[in-house]
């Protein structure tokens, strides 16, 4: 994990389908809000050279931290109301 400088790697949620503003609760105290889906990629970035395609424009998501805390491997992630 971490091949593309991601801060979190999440499985089981279709992250790119989440609307901007969606809030995610991680573990017991962390609250994130989706702020951006995808990112314009410059031509032939490091991700492209690593895997032959850049996934950032369609799969990368960004979130702002609304409530910080410690995140541990296997922490539960769920939609927050």
Please check the confidence at residue 68 and state whether its pLDDT lies above 70: yes
Q: Whole-model pTM? A: 0.75
**Quick one: what percent of the chain has pLDDT higher than 70?**
78
* Intra-chain end-to-end CA distance of the chain, in Å: 29
Q: For residues 15 and 24, is the Cβ–Cβ distance under 8 A? A: no
- What tens digit of pLDDT does each residue of 23-55 get? 999 998 999 999 988 776 767 777 667 777 766
Please check the confidence at residue 18 and state whether its pLDDT lies above 80: yes
Q: For residues 25 and 19, is the Cβ–Cβ distance under 8 A? A: no
Is the dihedral angle over the CA atoms 63, 19, 5, 28 positive or is it negative? positive
Q: What share of the chain is helix, strand, coil (3-state, %, to 5)?
A: 15, 30, 55
């Amino acid at each position: 994990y971490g091949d593309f400088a991601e801060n979190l790697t999440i499985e089981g949620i279709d992250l790119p389908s989440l609307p901007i503003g969606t809030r995610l609760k991680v573990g017991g105290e962390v609250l994130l809000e989706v702020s951006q889906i995808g990112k314009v990629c410059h031509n032939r970035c490091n991700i492209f050279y690593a895997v032959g395609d850049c996934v950032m424009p369609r799969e990368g998501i960004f979130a702002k931290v609304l409530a910080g805390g410690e995140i541990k491997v296997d922490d539960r992630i769920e939609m927050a109301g």
